[in-house]
Every structure is written in structure tokens, then in C-alpha cells.
């Protein structure tokens, strides 16, 4: 039998040492994410006084070990958790049997808490949104998004506590929106510089509003405009701030052109190189920066049950 002829003299990626290329006519790119190297090196050098940090992703996510969130934490510990959040974009804690009041008390150390008008709360603690999934209530948070961008002042961050988790599945993924922005081609960066987007609660939560209350809710939560690229108020770094759940349109662009650009920007969260993935256990806690990170709750556990509670911390109005 004749052996097939091999015409290759080098690895197909030999020319991609420092650049990425488009995959055919699609918006997807292949090649090394070289822009992640500096952030990876910076995070590797961090050391903490009050806990140990075990990183999950290249530039996003770390499990903080040695902190008891059920206790009254000293201010230096809270300040260091805040610094770790700024660095890792999302931090995780294991074995934290928080009561609802303890959950609220911990989250409140980082700012005022918001009340969500469209998701039922813990019956005794209105600051806690309760996500209670079971065979007759499926998970639908499996889309990349920042929370509540339909608010004029969206949340700065959120603290999510796992109460009941399925034996397998139901992980939450997080994507680094600094990396997503910095990895865009120069031509796209130029297009989105100064661009704004209109955000609206209707497309995600319109079905939650009774017809006789729609006018009231629309008056209370009108469409809002935020920059497509925001500057983080603490780190000073620029990040993408658009998502399919709540963005109604990119302002000033024709429908098809705006939709195509929005799709391209939202697809940036899809790259695994920008992500970390967290496997929940009972009493695990995730605390994410709702500006620097997007999240995606995998809906792969039906008909098992998954019950979580979230406290969201009020932020400031996004700025370019």
C-alpha cells in the first residue's frame, strides 16, 4: 500500500507565534492570546496576608482559602478581599454555611445592596434574590451577561451562595472583559471607541410584569444608555460592557450593522482562554465584579434541583 504523501514541513501554527488570524469568513479568530501574558505574570506575583489564593483561570478567578465569611471580618481582611476581587475579577470561597442575615451582612461590607424587582427574593431577606430551580422551573441563565445593565446605576458586584446543588452540572463560568476588550483587532477597537448601547429590561424580564403594571415599571426603569467600552472606576482599565440579554441596540448604527457588531462583541466572552469555570458544592460562595466579568450559569442539570441566593452591591454609573 502506498503511503500518503505528506507535504507539510512545519506545524500549521508556526507562523502564529505572536498573532491571531480569522477563521475563514467567520468572526472567530484562531491563534495565541499573547496579550494575556502580562496579566498572567502580574497575578502570579501576588501574595496575600489574610488568605491564600488558588487561581482558576489564566487571568480570571481565584479561590480564597483561610477566610470565614460567617464571622465578623476585620476591616483589613475586607479590604484585602476587595483588592483580590479587583485583581482576579471573581473570587470563590468553600464551606461557608451562611445564614441569610450573614450573607447580607458580608455583602453589605462592600456597599449598599439593591432589591431586584423582577426575580422573587428570599421571603425573609428581600436583599437576596433566590434562584430556585427544579424539574418544573428550568435554568435559563445560560447566556453570557453582566447583571442588571438595564439599571441607570448597575450593580458593582454580586455575592452568590450555593444552598442546594445538583450532583453534577450547574457550574458557573466567568469571562474576563478586560481581556475580551484588549484582544479585539485595532479596526474593531476604533469602531467602538465612544460608541454607546441602549439597555432595556423588557427583553429579559418583560414577561414578569403584569400588563396593568407595565407603564409603571417602564417609568421606573426606562431604557438607559451606557458606553460599549467602560473604564473601571477602581482599576482604571477598559472593559467591554455589552451583552445579549439586556442590550436593545448599539446607538447610531443601522439595524443590521449594529446587530452584526453587537454579535461580534458578545462573542468575545466565548473564548475559553478568557474564562474560568467553577464547580459548585453546598455552601460555596462566588463574589464577582459585575463590570470586569461576565458570567454564564450552565443549564445542564435538569431535572435536578439547584438553589442559590444572590446579594447584589450597588455600583456607580458606567463611564467611558
Catalytic residue IDs: 145, 147, 295, 310
Per the structure block, which three cell numbers stand in for 243? 451583552
Cβ 247 vs Cβ 198: under 8 Å: yes
Spatial distance between the Cα atoms of 141 and 216, rounded to a whole number of angstroms: 26
Spatial distance between the Cα atoms of 59 and 90, rounded to a whole number of angstroms: 10
Q: Which run of H or of E encompasses 231?
A: strand 229-231
Contacts of 20 (CB under 8 A, 6+ apart): 29, 30, 31, 32, 33, 183
The CA radius of gyration of the chain, in Å to the nearest whole number, is 21
Residue 36 burial (CB count, 10 A): 20
Amino acid at each position: 500500500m502506498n503511503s500518503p504523501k505528506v507535504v507539510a514541513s512545519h506545524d500549521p501554527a508556526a507562523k502564529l507565534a505572536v498573532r491571531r488570524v480569522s477563521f475563514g469568513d467567520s468572526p472567530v479568530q484562531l491563534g495565541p492570546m499573547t496579550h494575556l501574558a502580562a496579566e498572567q505574570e502580574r497575578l502570579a506575583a501576588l501574595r496575600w496576608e489574610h488568605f491564600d489564593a488558588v487561581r482558576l483561570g489564566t487571568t480570571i478567578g481565584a479561590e480564597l482559602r483561610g477566610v470565614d465569611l460567617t464571622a465578623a471580618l476585620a476591616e483589613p481582611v475586607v479590604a484585602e478581599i476587595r483588592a483580590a476581587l479587583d485583581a482576579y475579577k471573581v473570587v470563590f470561597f468553600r464551606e461557608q454555611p451562611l445564614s441569610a442575615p450573614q450573607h447580607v451582612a458580608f455583602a453589605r461590607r462592600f456597599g449598599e445592596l439593591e432589591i431586584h424587582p423582577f426575580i422573587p427574593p428570599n421571603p425573609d431577606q428581600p436583599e437576596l434574590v433566590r434562584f430556585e430551580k427544579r424539574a418544573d422551573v428550568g435554568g435559563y441563565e445560560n447566556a453570557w451577561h453582566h447583571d442588571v445593565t438595564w439599571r441607570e446605576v448597575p450593580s458593582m458586584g454580586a455575592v452568590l451562595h450555593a444552598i442546594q446543588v445538583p450532583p453534577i452540572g450547574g457550574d458557573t463560568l466567568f469571562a474576563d472583559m478586560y481581556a475580551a476588550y484588549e484582544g479585539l483587532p485595532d479596526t474593531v477597537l476604533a469602531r467602538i471607541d465612544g460608541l454607546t448601547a441602549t439597555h432595556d429590561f423588557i427583553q429579559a424580564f418583560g414577561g414578569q410584569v403584569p400588563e396593568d403594571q407595565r407603564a409603571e415599571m417602564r417609568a421606573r426603569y426606562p431604557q438607559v444608555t451606557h458606553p460599549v467600552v467602560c473604564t473601571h472606576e477602581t482599576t482604571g482599565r477598559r472593559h467591554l460592557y455589552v451583552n445579549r440579554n439586556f442590550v436593545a441596540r448599539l446607538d447610531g448604527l443601522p439595524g443590521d450593522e449594529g446587530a452584526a457588531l453587537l454579535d461580534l462583541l458578545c462573542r468575545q466572552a466565548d473564548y475559553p482562554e478568557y474564562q474560568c469555570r467553577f464547580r459548585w458544592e453546598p455552601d460555596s460562595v462566588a463574589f464577582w465584579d459585575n463590570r470586569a466579568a461576565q458570567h454564564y450559569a450552565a443549564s445542564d442539570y435538569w431535572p435536578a434541583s439547584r438553589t442559590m441566593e444572590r446579594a447584589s452591591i450597588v455600583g456607580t454609573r458606567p463611564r467611558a
